[in-house]
Structure 1
Amino acid sequence: MTATTRAGADTVAELIRRRWGDHRTGLRDEHHTLSHHRAAAAAAARAALLVDLMPPRPGGEPHLGLLLDNTPEYPLWLGAAALAGAAVAGINPTRRGAELARDITHTACRVLVTQRAHLPLLDGLPLPGVRLLVTDTEAYRDLLAPYADARPGDAALGPVGPGTRYLLTFTSGSTGAPKAALRSQGAVASAGAALARAFATGPDDTHYVCMPMFHGNAVIADWAPALAAGAGIALRARFSASRFLSDVRRFDATYFTYVGRAVQYLLATPPGPHDRDHRLRLGFGTEAGAVDAARFRERFGVPLVEGYGSSEGGASVQRTPDTPPGAIGRAAHGDDLAVVDPGTLRECPPARFSPAGRLLNADEAIGELVNRGGTGTFEGYWRNPGAEEARRRGGWYWTGDLFYRDASGFLYFAGRTDDRLRVDSENLAAAMIEAILARWDRAAGVAVYAVPDPVAGDQVMAAVALHPGAAFDPAAFAAFLAAQPDLGTKMPPRFVRVAPALPLTATNKIHRVALRRASFLCDDPVWWRPGPGAPYEPLTEPARAALRAEYARHGRDPGGHPGG
């Protein structure tokens, strides 16, 4: 790789302007190829159009929504917004009806850029004052034609600087309506430059963008560092495990970003003799797990670097060469990160491990990761002061994520705060149990989550998707659990749902809310232990009825809606 040769830029707009006159290949997908120069020109044309479409008016925010797959139009409009001084709201195409309308109107989008494939999603939605642009139409091409000679910097809605609002990125929305996190041009440019330096990305590289661009993973961790380094960008409209290797070969890709479930999909594809025939050097992402990361490197010859960064930008953990297995890394420069008990506000004691690597003091060591140095680069939420205050309470930034820290200061991810389980008065983290269950050679994917105990607290449930041709053998699964030296006595799942596939969010993360909602009342086969240490057996309809009666006697609800 060639190191970045230019100093960092204060704005994304400046990064776009730097590509003017650069005639190397800059932006590709399976149907289009643009040089850096042509991509900058196309962004400038869209910026000029945007300025004409959004004249200043009282209460009119300079916001546009992008309801697009990963087509070249997406990064071109990201560039256009940067040049024009507008902000982009990435709109999730898996949302429907009132929820989709709410995302567009909540972020005050005056222009919505979409494609014909997504038009049915908008049928009948109340979107007052929203101008619709459909990219793959003759009318759209005619609209852009008068701006063909625009140059970067020709048109802007006002002064563009580091503090100019740039991204409104929706969080997952696992509890209530999704929140739109704000990111400025300066924050995005800085994040891109930092990653480009960390991974020595340069003009000879190509970043493969296969995660959805409405999410921060693709924009901040893949597109922005490529832009900062002058690297090429290659797009896949939607993630495809079967096309991954052919894409990285075709595009000569060297870098990509991922989430854990995407890695599991890639590992589930049939192995071949040419799995290492590519230039791919690095994958950067989150939640792959040590087992899958090792399998990925062994098969494809590509290391996966696990990172952690709060979606909102308030905390970051960086991996160093001495990071031990299973750890994420240490606090990034300038962050004062601590693992805190939310009830007492005291720092949790360091983790203690058995010789086999089992966490011995999970109940006291696991807490919420906070940035005590302030709110870091967290720039707030769009029109959600309550959620913003919750993040900033006490002058700290609260990530909403569970971690534990070893005696040397290395941080280990333990799940989300709403993924904590309370079993027999002991706190457990779903992510830790998942990492152990992922070792089972029959499992293609695993998710662990809490279901209510009939009396108090939680019980452990796991959803397991098996490799093709594999069957769930209850005795083999129990023997596997018994052989895991770091599986605590409270960790084995009481309920095991055998699913054809795990439910996913639009960003290819496991949809835990749907799993918790379905509980053990789902349509998939469920195996359970009637008592502690008992053999696993099928959860029959009479057994389900008896369980529901037990919950009712104690005034508790097991949750569950058939079909998940």
Structure 2
Amino acid sequence: MTGTVTATVAELVQRQWGDPRTGLRSRDTVLTHHDVSAGAAARAALLVDLLPRGAEPHLGVLLDNTPEYPLWLSAAALAGAAVAGINPTRRGAELARDIVHTECRVLVTQRAYLPLLDGLALPGLRVLVTDTDAYTELLTPYEGAEPGDAVVRPVRPDSRMLLYFTSGSTGAPKAAICSQGRLAAAGASLVAHFGVGRDDVHYICMPMFHGNAVIADWAPALSAGASVALRDRFSASGFLPDVREFGATYFTYVGRAIQYLLATPEGPGDREHGLRLGFGTEAGAVDAARFEARFGVKLVEGYGSSEGGAAIQRTPDTPTGAIGRAAPGDGLAVVDAEGQECERARFSPQGHLLNGAAAIGELVNKGRSPFEGYWRNEEAEKERLRGGWYWTGDLFYRDEADFYYFAGRTDDRLRVDSENLAAAVIENILARWTDAEAVAVYAVPDPVAGDMVMAALALREGAAFDPARFTEFLSGQADLGTKMPPRFVRVMDRLPTTATNKIQRASLRTEGFLSRDELWWRPTPGAAYTPLTPKALTTLRATYDSHNRAHLVWS
């Protein structure tokens, strides 16, 4: 069945019916594929009865990665409903807004998250608490249901399947729409690309409210008829034990998950497992090489815009550091703010980017885009599709052979002495420093104009920031341009991250150099790093005041 083209996710769930092989595992649950299909059918029938007549067929899922999550995804597919993944790190009015905005009339949650709902205005919402006797009793009458017995709307390829939130630097998160057809096609594409088969075990440790876990891990497992193994929340220390216990062969990652895994103590059994592939984003070439050397597992860095508007896949001849090529006729290009194509990247004999300022721009799709829009957000859709192109919001550069290289988010662009820089490019260079466990680069306002470069460093256990050694390291990086060395360095125990292990750059930018962490700075670009003392900060404040820019830092 590997690679079988299927029009809807519902068909994939129906295909599990009668299959006695292990289909879903967690630490305390083992279900066959048939059990999953039957459980989904029961929940679909319950959902149809619970949804008010005429209401949008949307349910929210506020759960850890428990077996109930994929069961409800499967149930929604069978019923022709859509799942809004609710982020448990959201609080108060923001959490209520996510649920109300997506017009959820049913919310599936667990007892641990009930306190988050206390006092929220959620009119007409029916809450199901999965780890209670009441939930079990509610499901019991539906246990004889079969796939297709109950639908709230006819299931078609264009039926809404997911409403998953994507966030930017400003405004509330946007709920991107993913149809059953697009999700099924994404799963089939990854099956074909990676050769995923029925005997594979997909380990899902990234949170399932995020598109990565569902689109890149659950969907290809469903498409291939592979087994799924769940970790309720990502754990660096629990990763290898889980992989061994479940017999995992494939996993996905986002953000800084790989750095956290590399920070765990090395052991003689690091290669004693069956894992063969990791697929994700933002690991970086340095950490990907370290991961393969230590664990014997190849990491494939892919790119797919969260909203589905552009994708780049790795090919066997992809150079180190590149993401891959676009498919023929995809219409991808790298353009500047005026929409003009950027220069092709030029590299030194050592492979260092020489013309970053001219080569780095935003990735756009000038051709047909599979973007399916945002729920109730026409303004955001127009911004994403301005000029008839799909604007990804991501920075790239492209070489003469049409290989694309990721350079960060447009929100992470810095302008230093009139030169445009990409934070991710600087991060990839600083990641070579062996004392660093994790690195984040971001802009802080310059006292006169533009930005200055600031770096937050989480050091490896037992390491301390040595300014002289750090300066020596910087001077030895041939591809570190003259505008790239950090003016400010913030030393932290751990970088702040989201629930998907992405660095919270917004909070880092907001705090700037006014935090209480260990701070170092260069009073002038070529000076030695010295502590940013209260006296130095007072002098710096006077410089900002003299140029009428203090409000940009001391708000």
Unaligned runs of 5+ in 1: none
Alignment of 1:428-507 (within 5 A): 428-507=421-500
Pairing 1:149–2:141 present: no
Per-residue displacement from partner, 1:493-518 (whole Å, max 9, x unpaired)?
Answer: 00000011000011110110010001
- Look up the SS of the partner of 2:236 in the other structure: coil
Pairing 1:391–2:384 present: yes
Q: How many residues align?
A: 555
For 1:185 and 1:174, how far apart are their aligned partners in 2? 29
Distance 1:194 1:557, change over 3 A: farther
Give the aligned partner of residue 52 of structure 1: 49
Query: Contact 1:522–1:561 (CA<8 Å) still a contact in 2?
Result: no
For 2:554 and 2:36, how far apart are their aligned partners in 1? 48
Query: Contact 1:519–1:558 (CA<8 Å) still a contact in 2?
Result: no
Give the aligned partner of residue 78 of structure 1: 73
Query: Contact 1:111–1:131 (CA<8 Å) still a contact in 2?
Result: yes
Give the aligned partner of residue 38 of structure 2: 41
For 1:177 and 1:269, how far apart are their aligned partners in 2? 35
User: What's the CA shift for 1:558?
Assistant: 6.6
Moved more, 350-359 or 314-323: 350-359
Distance 1:557 1:320, change over 3 A: farther
- Look up the SS of the partner of 2:237 in the other structure: coil
Give the aligned partner of residue 272 of structure 2: 277
Pairing 1:164–2:159 present: yes
Pairing 1:203–2:176 present: no
Pairing 1:23–2:20 present: yes
User: What's the CA shift for 1:173?
Assistant: 4.0
Query: Contact 1:10–1:189 (CA<8 Å) still a contact in 2?
Result: yes
For 2:554 and 2:106, how far apart are their aligned partners in 1? 38
For 1:307 and 1:506, how far apart are their aligned partners in 2? 20
Give the aligned partner of residue 406 of structure 2: 413
Unaligned runs of 5+ in 2: none
Give the aligned partner of residue 529 of structure 2: 536
- Correspondent of 1:66 among 49, 61, 64: 61
1:340 alignment partner AA: V
User: What's the CA shift for 1:548?
Assistant: 1.7
For 1:332 and 1:184, how far apart are their aligned partners in 2? 22
For 1:364 and 1:535, how far apart are their aligned partners in 2? 30
1:155 alignment partner AA: A
For 2:182 and 2:542, how far apart are their aligned partners in 1? 54
Alignment of 1:86-485 (within 5 A): 86-343=81-338, 345-374=339-368, 376-485=369-478
User: What's the CA shift for 1:336?
Assistant: 1.0
Distance 1:280 1:561, change over 3 A: farther
For 2:90 and 2:52, how far apart are their aligned partners in 1? 29
Give the aligned partner of residue 554 of structure 1: 547
Give the aligned partner of residue 32 of structure 1: 29
- Look up the SS of the partner of 2:182 in the other structure: helix
User: What's the CA shift for 1:346?
Assistant: 1.1
Query: Contact 1:369–1:402 (CA<8 Å) still a contact in 2?
Result: yes
For 1:173 and 1:451, how far apart are their aligned partners in 2? 18
Query: Contact 2:198–2:225 (CA<8 Å) still a contact in 1?
Result: yes
1:15 alignment partner AA: L
Query: Contact 2:108–2:127 (CA<8 Å) still a contact in 1?
Result: yes
For 1:471 and 1:210, how far apart are their aligned partners in 2? 31
For 1:296 and 1:308, how far apart are their aligned partners in 2? 19
Query: Contact 1:358–1:488 (CA<8 Å) still a contact in 2?
Result: no
For 1:5 and 1:209, how far apart are their aligned partners in 2? 20
When the two chains are superposed, the root-mean-square deviation of aligned CA atoms in Å is 1.1
TM-score by length of 1: 0.97
Moved more, 503-512 or 546-555: 546-555
User: What's the CA shift for 1:353?
Assistant: 1.5
Give the aligned partner of residue 10 of structure 2: 13
- Look up the SS of the partner of 1:478 in the other structure: helix
For 1:462 and 1:207, how far apart are their aligned partners in 2? 35
Per-residue displacement from partner, 1:44-94 (whole Å, max 9, x unpaired)?
Answer: 00000000001422xx21100000000000000000000000000000000
Per-residue displacement from partner, 1:248-281 (whole Å, max 9, x unpaired)?
Answer: 0000000000114000000000000000000000
2:494 alignment partner AA: A
1:44 alignment partner AA: A
For 2:550 and 2:254, how far apart are their aligned partners in 1? 33
User: What's the CA shift for 1:409?
Assistant: 0.6
User: What's the CA shift for 1:560?
Assistant: 5.3
- Look up the SS of the partner of 1:198 in the other structure: helix
For 1:72 and 1:325, how far apart are their aligned partners in 2? 37
TM-score by length of 2: 0.99
